Structure formats: C-alpha cells, structure tokens
A and B are shown apart, each in its own frame.
Chain A
Amino acid sequence: MKKIIALLLALCMVLSLAACSGNTDKPANGGTQAAGNETPNAPEVSADPIKIGVLVADVSGEEALGFRAYYEEYIAKNYNVELSYTEQLADAAAEKSAIETFAAQGFDAIISLSSSDRAIQIETCAKNNLHYAIASGMLDDAQYEQYKTNEYFVGQIGPSMDTEYEAGLAMGKYFADKGVKTVSIYGAFIPNPMHVYRLAGVLVGLGATYGGAPEKDAIVGQIFGDQGLDLSKVGVNGIEIVSYFQGYGETTTDELNAAIQAAPDAFLSVGMATTFFTQQLNTAGIEFSDIDSFTSGNGETMKNGKLVYLAGKYSSSIGPIFAAVVNAVNGNAIRNENGDALSLSQGYLVATDGASFDKYYSADKGDSPIFNKELLDTVIGEGVSYETFKAFVEEDRG
C-alpha cells in the first residue's frame, strides 16, 4: 500500500512538472497589428509574436500592478507580442536565472523592472543574444557609461537619479511648508539607488543635513555607506524625525507600530507605503505621502484616507520602452546621437488632493492609457529618429 501511494505521488510530481510551462501569456489574438509596422491601420502581418520577458521584483505594489495591467491588458491585446512575467525576483541570482530561462524558451527581449543587479542582467542578456531594456528606472551613471555601447542594451527610460532626488525634495518641501514639526520616514528598499536618492531629497526638502552635509551627493554617499538612515547623523532645523525604518520583513509591523506610537505629524515614504501601510496609517489618522502610481487604490486613499501627497507615474509610462524594444527586435534599434543606448528621463506628476489625482488617473487607465497604440505606433517602425523618439518620451503629458 505504501509503495503504491509513493508511486502515485511520484507520478503526480512528474506530471505536474511536465505540465508546468511557466507564466506565459497567450499571444495577441487576430486583428491586432504586428509589431514593427509603422502605419496604424496597416493590414495584419503574419508573423510570430515578439516574445518579451519582464523581470519584476515587486508583484504586489500598486505601481507594479498598474504596470502589469497595462502590459497584459492593453499592450498584449494590441500588439503581436507575448509578454511573460517572472515571479518576484529576490536577488541577482534569481534575475540571472530568469533571463537564462527566457533565453532557453526562445524569447527575443527582456524588459527589466527589477534592480538587484542590472549589470549582471545586461551581461546575461548579451551572452544569450537577448535585447535588454530598463523600464521605469535607470542605471547609475558609471554603469550606463560602461554598457551604453553594448549592442543588446536597448536603453533605459524612467526617472533619472536626479529626478528621483527632485521628487523626494518636493515631497520634503511640501510638508516643511505645511508646518509639520515631527515626521516619520520610511526608506522603502534602501540601498536601492532610486530610494536612496529620494530619501536624500526628502531630507534636504525638510531642511535637514546628514552627517553635516547639506547637499545631494554627499548625503547620497553617506546613505549608501550607512545602508540606511542613521538618525543620530541627521541635523534638523525645526522638524524632528521621530522614527525611521526601511525594508519589509517580519519586524516591519512592529517598526510601523513604533512609528505610529511616536505620533508624528506626517509619515513620509519614498515608496511602497500605499501598498503596505495604508490601513494602519488611515486608522491612526496620520497624514502620509508616497511615490507610486495613479491607481484606483491610491485614489481611494487620497479621497477617503490620509494620503495627502502622491508623486506618481502613469501606469502606461512603460509604453515608450516597449516601443524601443520592439524596434530593436525588428532591426530598427534607436540609438542616440553617439550611437549609444537610449537614456531618457521621465518625471513625476504630483497629486495633493482628489481633484488633481482624478486629473491624472482619468487620463491614463484601462483601455485609454496615455501611451496608447495610436501614440506608440508613431515611434514604432523603420526610420524613427532619436530626436523624434526623445521628444516623444519627454513631452509633458500632465
């Protein structure tokens, strides 16, 4: 009996492994335009779908879900592409393994929303002849200089580190101007560079120094060195930082509760607060801020909760990098004036109340994203110049 049960269990395992074919979406159905065709209403080209793997580090956050919905529910339905998302990638090894798996499955390109080790990602993609692009993020300057000539590196479109810093700065200034006396700060996933720059901006915006330094580069360097914020090094000017914590793990609930217990006037977050802490902060009645996306959940919190400041991106802001990848796969890669990979910055939009939130939210949702097919098709195809593409990305669509 025991042997029969053991055999049955083994058979079940083998069958489930054989049936397991990864997290692949179905290719776009008939009636959609083949990628690479410049004319919006051109007849459908019979071609295999372009297969793009998407690396993700965050599968739960509002911004991450918004991005995914845009790719899966809009892009995949309007273009002849097959988009396949990874599970949550926890580290560089997982990213490398995911890329190699995509390569083995015959994928054409990788779009990365995961930043454990982008250098390894680029090298792995190049080794496996996969085009690689960074969505909603950027390499640091040194890494960009190192990889910009790599033929498989399509480019990066997202907030630059300076943009991240400015977003944090504006947030800090908003609350300083509001007259808060005490704040708690959540550092999200420092030492992720974008969170480091945002945090540096927040400190400067609040009028604080760090380790005696008042300017961006020195503060950023210290935060990287400290792998977080050391409150003993913060020099305040009328605003006290009563608590700071970062990351998300088993002690986070206790750290958040400690922050709430300190009864700050405001809770400033450089990311993910709207994902993880909304209910607790609403219940505690503490005004809070975040850098995220314009999603329905965040809208609800802004109108009926205590979210008072949101610096956000459109969920469809990852449309242009998709267009660049499609061009690269079809042999129409767009390089800058020096022949290097694209590096274009996108800024944040800020909502501080329901009306301003609705303005951005209604402009970019569901079947009517900002970067819709009609717009994207103007930069997909042969002969799209760098200047055209740059202007397309950097146009103010607020």
Chain B
Amino acid sequence: MDNQLKKNLGKKIVGTLAIPAIAAAVLLTLCAVGGKTMIANRVSLNNFVVYTAVVMITTTALSINLNSGRFDFSLGAMAILSAVISSRITYAITAGTGNAFLMLILGIVIGAAIGFCSGALYVTLRIPPIIASLGVTLILEGIAFTITEGRYVMTEVQNGSMAAFGGNWYFPLMIIIAVLAVTIFLFDHTRFGYNYRALKDGQKVAVETGIREIPNALACYAVCGALMGIVGFLNAVRNTNINGGSLNFGSISIMFTAFLPMFIGGYISRFANEKIGFLLAALCMSMLNSTFAAFANEITASMQSIINAVLLVLFLIYLSNEYRIKAFLRPIRK
C-alpha cells in the first residue's frame, strides 16, 4: 500500500513538473548554445516575476468562466478600465505623488465592480455569454477611451511608488502567493467553490439540488473582474503606461496570452491543483518570454508571435491525440 501511495505521489510529482522541467531544460540549453543568459540581472528577474504574475492571474480569470461554458472576451477591457480609473483616483487622492498599494486595492475593487456589472448584464439579458462579452468589451473599451481621450495614461502611473513596486521582484511574488492562496481557498474549500464545481460539472442536476446558479455566476464574474484589476495594475507597472486607446476589440489580445498556459495548466491539473497548474504554466511562458528577450536581436516581435501560436497548436494537437501517441509508444516501452 505504501509503495502504491509512493508510486502515485511520484507519478503526480513527475506529471506536475514534467512540462516546466522540459521547458526550462530546452530554453536554458538554447540560451547556453546562443551565448545568452535567460535572466541576466535583477531587472530581468523583476520582469520575469511580474510577467509570471500577469499570465497566471489572467489564466485563472479566463478559466473561471470558461470552465462553466462562459467565454469572456472582456477580460482585457476590464483590466484596462480598472487600471485607468484606479490610477486617476489614486493620482487625485495622493495629489500626484502616486501610491502603488492604493492603486492595487482600488484596481481590485473597481475590477470586481466592473465584473459584477458584466455578469449582471449577462444574467439579465440571458443572451449567450460570448455575445454578451463582445458587447461588454466594446462598452468598456469605449468608456476607457472616453476617459483617457484615446491617450496613453502615463503621468498617473509614472511615479516613485510604482517604480519601486516594479523594481523589486518580491512584490509581484507576494501577489502571486496571495492570489494562489485566495483562489485555491475560494474554489476548493468554500461552499461557493463546491457550488461552482457542481454547476460546472452538471448545471441541471446542480440547480435541481437547490444550487442557485445566478448568484454563483455573478460572483464568478466579480472574482474575474477583481483578478483582472490586479492584471491591469501589473501591466501598468510593467509598461509604465496604460493604453486607453484600444477600440474595436483591441484589448482582446490580453486574453489570448492566457490560452496556451490555460491548456498547459489544464494538463497539469490531472496531477495537481488546477491553480498550481496555472502557476507552473505561467512560469513556462515567462521563461519563454525571457528567452525571447535574450534573443531580441535575432527573433523579431512577429517571429515571437508565430512561435507562440505554433506552440499552442502543437500542444493542442498533442492533447487531442494523446491516447494515440501513448498507444504508439506502448510497444516501444514493452
């Protein structure tokens, strides 16, 4: 029995760490062969951790609704609008000096409010969530554009406090740990989480057992919004500006950065907690991003986009044909 437990534990550890380990090995080898260093100094370490946080949180936010069959295009717009509003309020309250912590808290609150409104629109109109999210995306982008007059928000986010946040890797690391802890607790150890999983796995049965799907959906949207409020803040730290000029679904690209890590995280969730899977997937993406940065002179921005897309397609092909691949390999193992 102990051997069986150990075997299962070993399998879980291997399964959990396989993809990150392979990714690290391949990318570090590429860097070594090219004479580059993936993380050369403190600045690149800071960027690495911030990017990991952005990807992990975006992926978590995307998965919350997507797992329940609700495709939400408005994540990027939520991030932008919450960052725009929270930066303006922070700038006003601090009389121009800025305060990263205040902006972060405001971003979470405003993001949650925006998400709740988005969810309210969906449950009220009762139209397919993908259609509702398209409309919400345009509305939120329009509001952000109106507030910023289509400009980049810079003055409100370029200050010593934001620079200090971005200049120390342990601040975004704290955010990663906090988000991980809260989302694991919320979705795995609370009634809300139980109801969420019940509704996700069988809505009809769950509703008939007395679970109320509308409050749960609204809460999911609010949590998504809060998470994207954090992402909006982190992007403002990273880019030192907020692009208020995204219109006509220009903000959707933020969401698409989460697709590959979501599938990787979904694979890892067979062996570990799904949220841990998202973190490990985000680490993989961040390593890839840092490798691209190291080879910035050789790999152009367009080539990076192509590589990301190819990796996504390859991974999807693997997932779709996993049983065939295993069946193919089985005679070799024997």
Chain A residues with CB under 8 Å of chain B are 2, 5-6, 59-60, 87-88, 231, 242-245, 247, 249-255, 257-261, 263, 275-280, 283-284
Contacts and interface: CB of A to CB of B under 8 A. Distances in A.
Nearest to A247: B301
B289 interface: yes
Contacts of A253: 47, 238-239
Contacts of A250: 253
Contacts of A243: 296-297
Contacts of B253: 250
Given A5-B124, A279-B163, A254 B43 contact: no
Given A254-B292, A259-B296, A6 B150 contact: no
Contacts, number: 80
B291 to A, nearest CB: 10
Given A5-B124, A254-B296, A261-B293, A279 B240 contact: yes
B152 A60 contact: yes
Given A279-B240, A280-B240, A257 B301 contact: no
Of the listed residues B40, B245, B301, the one surrounded by the most CB atoms of chain A closer than 10 A to its CB is B301
15 contacts: A2-B126, A5-B124, A87-B149, A242-B297, A243-B297, A253-B238, A254-B289, A255-B301, A258-B296, A260-B43, A261-B41, A261-B293, A263-B41, A275-B152, A276-B241
B240 A254 contact: no
A369 B310 CA distance: 54
B268 interface: no
A280 B301 CA distance: 20
Closest 3 CB pairs of A and B: A258-B296, A60-B152, A258-B293
Contact of A261 (B40, B162, B239, B304): B40
B297 A231 contact: yes
Contacts of B317: none
Nearest to A228: B300
Given A255-B296, A260-B43, 15 more contacts: A2-B124, A2-B125, A5-B124, A88-B150, A88-B245, A242-B297, A244-B297, A250-B253, A253-B47, A254-B292, A255-B293, A261-B41, A276-B152, A280-B240, A283-B166
B149 A6 contact: no
Nearest to B157: A279
A359 B305 CA distance: 46
B21 interface: no
A255 B43 CA distance: 13
A59 B150 contact: yes
B294 interface: yes
A258 B294 contact: yes
Contacts of A280: 240
B60 to A, nearest CB: 20
A6 B125 contact: yes
B158 interface: yes
B293 A257 contact: yes
Nearest to A276: B241
B47 A257 contact: yes
Contacts of A277: 240
Of the listed residues A60, A244, A280, the one surrounded by the most CB atoms of chain B closer than 10 A to its CB is A60
A245 B292 CA distance: 13
Contacts of B151: 59-60, 88
Contacts of A242: 297
A275 B293 contact: no
Contacts of A283: 163, 166-167
B44 interface: yes
A255 B290 CA distance: 10
Given A244-B297, A253-B239, A284-B43, A59 B158 contact: no
B32 interface: no
Contacts of A276: 152, 240-241
Contacts of A261: 40-41, 43-44, 293-294
A284 B152 CA distance: 22
A60 B244 CA distance: 10
Contact of A251 (B158, B294, B301): B301
B109 to A, nearest CB: 26
Contacts of A231: 297
A70 B241 CA distance: 24
Interface in B192-239: 238-239
A6 B163 CA distance: 45
Contacts of A88: 150-151, 245
A268 B28 CA distance: 30
Contacts of B304: 251
B131 interface: no
B154 interface: yes
Contacts of A252: 239
A254 B163 CA distance: 16
Interface in B278-312: 289, 292-294, 296-297, 301, 304-305
